[in-house]
Homo-oligomer: A and B are copies of this chain.
């Protein structure tokens, strides 16, 4: 994979902004592989992502940061630049359902998802077999015989020990405490098995069955303390009919869940997602 730097910026929209950034890139000889812009007309906020060939730039990543800082300050930017060859560490949380877990693992193992997976943490021991297959350290955390606060403190410690950059809740069925949501803000992704805001909460397929909808879906979103209400990254749907039982929906919906989660995680890892209030800009 070609090495690139990804410069991701958001700031108040101002005239001269794009000129300043592209002038800077040109001065340092950057070959732009991909460039995306968005202005939120309602809030006047500007979003920009550049992907540039690392070997085209006359600067190291560190020197680039130093050199860019004055521009960033002038325009009051929130910004970061990342190196595509520097893999993020993605910790996986799971419960009993394995389909999202194994989907992420196989995409990682086959080189499609460019990251490291330092650990799998689950409240069901049965996930261990998958961890072993993929040679990923596995930690079972007991959520039944100890109180949840203690269990989550254990999870928190593990995430810290493994220095997780991103935590993916691959159908992890425990509700994170507020403190952990805050600690992981913008760095924890969940997959909910409905097209939110429909059917938030428990048993969404049963809710969908009871309501008699003709479409089911899945939603990949950032975790926040407001359950199932975090910024949405990606959604996916498929058609069902009166012939589908709740169990059929569970089976079919797994395909939506896998797709929405895999896309969401990929966008995040490639620095394509910028959180803006309770929404996202996704330069897919």
List chain A positions with a Cβ less than 8 A from chain B.
13, 15-16, 18-19, 22-23, 25-26, 29-42, 56, 98-99, 102, 106, 110, 112, 133, 195-199, 211-215, 217, 231-235, 237, 239, 241-243, 245, 251, 254-255, 259, 262, 276, 278-282, 284
Contact = CB atoms under 8 A, between A and B. Distances in A.
Closest 9 CB pairs of A and B: A212-B279, A19-B22, A19-B26, A35-B37, A16-B26, A18-B22, A198-B198, A214-B235, A242-B281
Contacts of A284: 241
B18 A279 contact: no
B99 A106 contact: yes
A37 B51 CA distance: 12
Nearest to A277: B212
What number of copies of this chain does the assembly contain? 4
A35 B243 CA distance: 11
Contacts of A196: 198, 211, 213
B232 A278 contact: no
Contacts of A199: 197
Contacts of A32: 18, 37, 39
